[in-house]
Structure 1
Amino acid sequence: MNEVSILVTLATVHFIALMSPGPDVALVVQNASRYGRQTGLYIALGLSFGILLHSLLSLTGVSYLVHQQPLLFALLQLCGGSYLLYLGYGALRATLANWSLAPGELSQKPELLLHNKRQAFSRGFMTNILNPKALVFFVSLMSTLIPAGMSLGGKGIALLILWGLALAWFAALAWMLSTRHLQQKLQAAGRYIDLLCGVIFTAIGMMILYQSLSGLLS
């Protein structure tokens, strides 16, 4: 298989994975529909840089070494699961805060808000980089599709494809969710979006924490 075929296959597999429901998609849906386009785009940027770092660490073998060390990987799972539980708690708290409000109204309590662009970027980046499932995915993706003998230029293009597709997909999702017509409808359903995202974050976080504790105790 030549490098062009490898890169096309890589892009296809990666794009399918990006569209799969998970913490990254839930984060964009929750925040772009609530806080608007700019926040959604900065979260998309943070997620894409998390994916870029995962890709780079996998390509250089660092992520493989972490995956092969049970204690290190369990600690990563512990951090990632705890962070997702934190996001789940925030989403469920927002649900309770807004449940009694009229449709379309949002609580403006300071602790529920994303205050600036840097905070939005950081939340996207941390959500992705602390997800141990992302580490496993990129280790598998790189070890399966990227041969050791691939040219340096080819590997650079691979990194650019992984980052660029992630940014394009999450930015497009944030853009679509923040159009005026759609955002009015989504804000009317904001409490239900918060509830769904809270359940997703909490369920995945608890599953990851269970796997982490199982690994530490085994």
Structure 2
Amino acid sequence: MNLPISGTELYSFMLVMMLMIVTPGVNQVLVLQSGLNFGHKAAIYNVAGITSSMFVHTLLSGLGISIIIIKSPSLLGLFKVVGSGYLIYLAISSIFNAYQLRNTTVNSTDLTNLSDSEISRKSFTRGFTTNVLNIQTSFIFLSIFPQYMNLNQSLLNQSLFLTLIFILLLIAWYAVIISLIFKIRHYLLDINIQRKLKTVSGVLLLVMAINMLVK
């Protein structure tokens, strides 16, 4: 079976991608937040949304739309504002939820009135939307992927292959995170701890939103 890329180039790509995946970022904060607040199933849907959005970046990159956005200061600025604005919304929501828990004294695993289907849908949507609007993900597809592609084969096939490798590595890493969440979540269901977790994750998202905006 002839792969679009193989040998040392493939191993090099996997190493670079793995280093980028394990580096703390917006996606990891969202997955941890979903898992700790709503359970490991919510985190799984979060990851499903993140991985699904990768194909949007693949399509945009293949059509050259990402390059147009990156090279246009006005479009890039708009993209950053929308992306950071969404993160700010998530951050404020998290901090507000922490504020709402300030007078709650009863420990409970039922920290939300949402149904399982609503939690799953919202977790997927958050993961998908956040990663689609993440300009750093676009940079990965535009700056790193081309280094492992050549003109002798279909660029779309190569891009799809690299995207699948990227997704498999991402799933492997988040599988570790979600398994840890599954093991420790019951220790963190104390309302005071939940309030602190929501506050910290909200502040982290706010910092990342500002960082995305000013870069």
On whether the aligned pair clears a TM of 0.5, the verdict is yes
Residue 176 (structure 2) pairs with residue 172 (structure 1)? yes
Q: Secondary structure of the equivalent of 2:150?
A: coil
* Displacement after TM superposition at 1:107 (Å): 7.5
Matching residue of 2:46? 43
Q: Aligned equivalents of 1:103 and 1:59: distance in 2?
A: 52
Question: 2:58·2:159 contact (CA, 8 Å) conserved in 1?
Answer: no
Matching residue of 1:18? 21
* Displacement after TM superposition at 1:77 (Å): 0.5
Q: Aligned equivalents of 1:94 and 1:9: distance in 2?
A: 43
The alignment yields a C-alpha RMSD, in angstroms, of 2.6
Question: 1:83·1:127 contact (CA, 8 Å) conserved in 2?
Answer: yes
Q: TM-score, normalised by structure 2?
A: 0.84
Matching residue of 1:193? 197
Question: 1:104·1:187 contact (CA, 8 Å) conserved in 2?
Answer: yes
* Displacement after TM superposition at 1:165 (Å): 1.8
The superposition leaves residues 72-127 of structure 1 with CA deviations (integer Å, 9 ceiling, x where unpaired) of 1111101101000001001111221223434844784658x982322211111011
Question: 1:97·1:107 contact (CA, 8 Å) conserved in 2?
Answer: no
> Kindly tell me: are residues 173 and 187 of structure 1, through their superposed partners in 2, closer, same or farther at Cα, counting changes over 3 Å?
same
Q: Aligned equivalents of 1:209 and 1:53: distance in 2?
A: 22
Q: Aligned equivalents of 2:143 and 2:93: distance in 1?
A: 32
Q: Aligned equivalents of 2:207 and 2:214: distance in 1?
A: 11
Gaps of 5+ in 1: 212-218
Question: 1:59·1:142 contact (CA, 8 Å) conserved in 2?
Answer: no
Residue 119 (structure 2) pairs with residue 116 (structure 1)? yes
Matching residue of 1:183? 185
> Kindly tell me: are residues 114 and 68 of structure 1, through their superposed partners in 2, closer, same or farther at Cα, counting changes over 3 Å?
farther
> What amino acid maps onto 2:160 in structure 1?
G
Gaps of 5+ in 2: none
Once the two structures are aligned, what percentage of the paired residues are identical?
23
* Displacement after TM superposition at 1:143 (Å): 2.5
* Displacement after TM superposition at 1:33 (Å): 1.1
Counterparts of 1:21-170 in structure 2, within 5 Å, are: 21-102=24-105, 104-105=107-108, 108=111, 110=113, 115-151=118-154, 153-170=157-174
> What amino acid maps onto 1:176 in structure 2?
L
Question: 2:95·2:202 contact (CA, 8 Å) conserved in 1?
Answer: yes
* Displacement after TM superposition at 1:11 (Å): 1.6
Q: TM-score, normalised by structure 1?
A: 0.83
> Kindly tell me: are residues 70 and 28 of structure 1, through their superposed partners in 2, closer, same or farther at Cα, counting changes over 3 Å?
same
Q: Aligned equivalents of 1:193 and 1:110: distance in 2?
A: 19
Matching residue of 2:9? 6
Q: Aligned equivalents of 2:208 and 2:199: distance in 1?
A: 14
* Displacement after TM superposition at 1:147 (Å): 2.8
The superposition leaves residues 127-153 of structure 1 with CA deviations (integer Å, 9 ceiling, x where unpaired) of 111111221232111133323334565
Matching residue of 1:208? 212
